Amino acid sequence: MTTAPLWLWISAGLAGFICLIHIFAGGRESVPPLLSSDMESLPKYTNYYCWHLVSLTLAAMAAAYAFAAAYPSAWELAVAATLL
């Protein structure tokens, strides 16, 4: 047995943990002040959209690492998640 799946599972867990921190703690600290600011609507909602894109990227990284750990033939997903 190689240790590669173990490291991929650790990476999946850490990416998932960071995603949860970003969504729950970061969302509570960042999103309400952003949405209640007097910034014009286009930059305000562009920033809000970017916050969601980061959330989705972190979740996709966790899923890619987990899939690559479960199916070692899908090692390209781990490479893609690392590049993300």
Q: How big, in percent rounded to 5, are the helix, strand and coil portions of the chain?
A: 90, 0, 10
Return the higher-pLDDT residue of 84 and 20: 20
Which band of pLDDT confidence, cut at 50, 70 and 90, is reported for residue 27? confident
Distance CA 22, CA 16 (A): 10
pLDDT digits (tens, 9 = 90+) for 31-68: 999 999 999 999 999 999 999 999 999 999 999 999 99
Report CA-CA distances (Å) from 50 to 25, 38, 44, 45.
Answer: 16, 18, 10, 8
CA-CA-CA-CA dihedral for 77, 81, 83, 84, to nearest 10: 140
